[in-house]
Structure 1
Amino acid sequence: MTRLILLILFVVLSPFAHAQELDGAWKLSHTNGLPVEDLEAIKIYQDGYFALSAKRLSDNHFLEAKGGLFTLKDSTAYTETYDFYTSNSEKVGQSKQFTIDIIQDKMVLSYTSKGKNLIEIWERLSDKEDDLNGTWVITGRKRDDKMQTMSPGARRTVKILGGGRFQWIAFNDETKEFSGSGGGNYTAQNGKYTEYITVFSKDDSRVGASLGFDYEVKDGEWHHSGLSSKGDPIYEVWSSYRKAYLEKQ
């Protein structure tokens, strides 16, 4: 009983009970008290946005991606609002409420689904920071040596990086269409950015591949250049999702 009281006090008083303290990467470890098996679900939080990807471990088969904005109110009231949701597109634009408890490096999400009470336990993988931590949206791409600018709208490509993990997602939240997603681990140091792919929605065989690029952050924008997986040169500009999209809505 004493231990339980201490844990409750820790949750109430913990400085982790703020939305920004969710920033980083988390891994699903238990559902309803049972350890997850043959499943890897990774959730990245950064700058008020989140993205989840899930795959089957036995064959790296992509299972699901979902994400969007989140809020944390009064330390325990947590809400997700979905921009994309591959397993049920009808949930795009809808919000779901959870009760959240954060105890040390574990996050407990409690919610009701189809009349049943469910509990998920997520373990923090990392909250390390680097030059590219953030939620980004693509706003420029060079074609034939000419930079083409893009204004993100209902159709947009978002990339979230936090805790050494990344995930990109292409979607249209008006038509609820999902175009693709991929993610994994990354490193960003001294102008060199490398992705190590662990999940890919269109082609499971891409898992295990790595790609290296050059990067530079200029005036708050991420300039990303190198060669694509097909060997084609790319030059992209990614902007803060909040500034380039949310603040213009």
Structure 2
Amino acid sequence: MKKTLLILIICTIGVHTLVAQNKSTLRGAFLHTIDNKNVLWLFVDDYFSAINFENNRYISTTGGPFTYDGKTIHVSVEYNDANPEQIGSTIDMPVQVQNQHLRSNNMQYNRQPAKAQDLDGLWRITGRKQGNELSTITRGDRKTIKLLVDGYFQWIAINPAVKGFYGTGGGTYVFTDGKYTEHILYFSRDNSRVGADLSFEGKIEANQWHHSGLSSKGDPIFEIWSRDNQ
């Protein structure tokens, strides 16, 4: 009995270790580019996002929490503005990771250079200042999340419960010495914003990200983001 129990414990530990290793293999940003068309895959904190965009035009995005068994990515879809009927379902995508490349369905994605920064992770907005008053944003079905990994970022405003999609934007970022700077590569609400650089003040306190400056429209903002590991 004790021997059987020990074997089960060892097997369980082995499975959890393998799962952790698989997810670690995928953490990062992977880019497929042909002509002026780009497909960017982001993996961080058990969350996946795929973004399709041209050099000056946003196309679509899809993503959600994922698991990876070493051969297949299983994504629980929380948003898909091109095919909203997929929201709430699980999609499976075969994946092969070879050195600095990822292959899926005859497409090769190149791993982008690792640029680990303190803000890397999955975040969810939990506070916003309106006038002089800081309002708490209660966790619910509707949410705005932000993925940051290896110098890339994406925010997405969604409500999976009603298959709602309210916008997304993203690009590359740098966070150093209290300065957070974005370079916009795509923006679903306004393609003319592509190429813009935005700078903000930023600091991490008690696992919260305090973010302040001017929005893409020039309006003053102060937001609090909290880590949102799935």
The answer to whether TM tops 0.5 is: yes
- Cα displacement string for residues 131-152 of structure 1 (whole angstroms, at most 9, x for unaligned residues): 1000100000011211100122
* Residue 175 of structure 1: aligned partner: 162
TM value normalised by structure 2: 0.88
* Residue 40 of structure 1: aligned partner: 38
Quick check: 1:98 aligned with 2:96?
A: no
Give the partner amino acid of 2:59.
Answer: L
> Which of 210, 215, 218 matches 2:202?
215
TM value normalised by structure 1: 0.81
- Cα displacement string for residues 142-190 of structure 1 (whole angstroms, at most 9, x for unaligned residues): 1121110012221100100001000000011011111000000100001
Contact 1:138 1:152 in 2 (8 A): no
Q: How does 1:178-193 map to 2 (within 5 A)?
A: 178-193=165-180
Q: 1:55 to 1:77 in 2, by over 3 A?
A: closer
Taking the aligned partners of 2:148 and 2:168, their CA distance within structure 1 comes to: 14
Alignment gaps of 5+ in structure 2: 1-17
Taking the aligned partners of 2:89 and 2:62, their CA distance within structure 1 comes to: 12
Indicate the SS of the match to 1:18: helix
Q: Which is worse superposed, 127-136 or 186-195? A: 127-136
Taking the aligned partners of 1:145 and 1:138, their CA distance within structure 2 comes to: 18
Aligned residues: 213
Quick check: 1:24 aligned with 2:20?
A: no
Taking the aligned partners of 1:199 and 1:151, their CA distance within structure 2 comes to: 28
- Cα displacement string for residues 51-72 of structure 1 (whole angstroms, at most 9, x for unaligned residues): 2221123xx1211111111101
> Which of 83, 86, 89 matches 2:84?
89
* Residue 130 of structure 1: aligned partner: 117
Q: How does 1:1-249 map to 2 (within 5 A)?
A: 18-29=22-33, 36-57=34-55, 60-73=56-69, 75-109=70-104, 118-242=105-229, 246=230
Contact 1:168 1:181 in 2 (8 A): yes
Contact 1:28 1:123 in 2 (8 A): yes
Indicate the SS of the match to 1:102: strand
Offset, 1:17: 5.5
Alignment gaps of 5+ in structure 1: 1-13, 30-35, 110-117
Offset, 1:126: 2.6
Contact 2:128 2:223 in 1 (8 A): yes
Taking the aligned partners of 2:74 and 2:106, their CA distance within structure 1 comes to: 15
Taking the aligned partners of 1:67 and 1:26, their CA distance within structure 2 comes to: 14
Offset, 1:123: 0.8
Taking the aligned partners of 1:96 and 1:63, their CA distance within structure 2 comes to: 20
* Residue 12 of structure 2: aligned partner: none
Taking the aligned partners of 1:17 and 1:104, their CA distance within structure 2 comes to: 15
Q: 1:126 to 1:145 in 2, by over 3 A?
A: same
Taking the aligned partners of 2:19 and 2:142, their CA distance within structure 1 comes to: 36
How well do the aligned residues superpose, as a CA RMSD in angstroms? 1.8
- Identity over aligned residues, as a percent? 36
Taking the aligned partners of 1:53 and 1:23, their CA distance within structure 2 comes to: 16
- Cα displacement string for residues 19-54 of structure 1 (whole angstroms, at most 9, x for unaligned residues): 12211111024xxxxxx3331111111100012221
Taking the aligned partners of 1:77 and 1:41, their CA distance within structure 2 comes to: 19
